[in-house]
Amino acid sequence: MNSTQYTHISKTLSHALRHSPDAYDLTLDSQGWCSLSDLVFALNSRGLNVDESIIEKMIESSIKKRHEILNGKIRALYGHSVENKIVKNAAEPPEYLFHGTVQSRLGSIMEKGLLPMNRQYVHLSSDEKTAEIVGRRRKGILVILKIRAKDASLSGIKFYSEENGVWLSNEISSKYIVLNGVNRD
């Protein structure tokens, strides 16, 4: 398989495991897992000719590590928009995390805070470079927000660390956002 085919498989997996498991006749457990064999069957019944080894190779070759296989089960690590919230294990965040966005969204963020929008969690990066890559996916002037994650955590906001360096959190008040070196407290 070539990288274009792996990308297509990855996007299809993400759709099935993050957004529309019902459309693939899949049932996710509370942590987002489903049977790998059920997923393979669902994908093949929709004309995507894959087996477990192809999916494993796609995950291994992926730089972004969006999916995980364990004990015959598979899940998307983050990005879920399914109705039932995926349960995550809270972790202690570093002092700062980062969020890439565009300037046109800054007013709303500073008014309402960082919200999950159509996802279950706010997505954060452990470094500015990754936040920049994420932020550049949107059109507009890039803005990197620095989040006082440790302070937010101490106030009760939960953070969740994924193995691939992505951090998730619940809603984050704008008072924990450092903008142009100025705290909002």
Distance, in Å, from the CA atom of 123 to the CA atom of 53, rounded to the nearest integer, reads 30
How does pLDDT run across 115-163, given as a tens digit for each residue?
998 899 999 999 999 899 888 888 889 999 999 999 999 999 999 998 7
Distance, in Å, from the CA atom of 53 to the CA atom of 146, rounded to the nearest integer, reads 40
Task: Give the per-residue pLDDT at 182.
Answer: 45
Helix (H, G, I), strand (E, B) or coil at 70: strand
pTM score: 0.79
Helix 36-45 × helix 3-14 angle, to 10°: 110
- Domains of the chain with CATH codes: 3-76 (1.10.10.970), 97-178 (3.20.170.30)
How does pLDDT run across 32-80, given as a tens digit for each residue?
999 999 999 999 999 899 999 999 999 988 877 889 999 999 999 988 9
CA 40 to each of CA 12, 59, 68, 168: distance values in angstroms, whole numbers, following the listed order: 11, 14, 14, 28
Q: How many CB atoms lie within 10 A of CB 90?
A: 14
Task: Give the per-residue pLDDT at 111.
Answer: 95
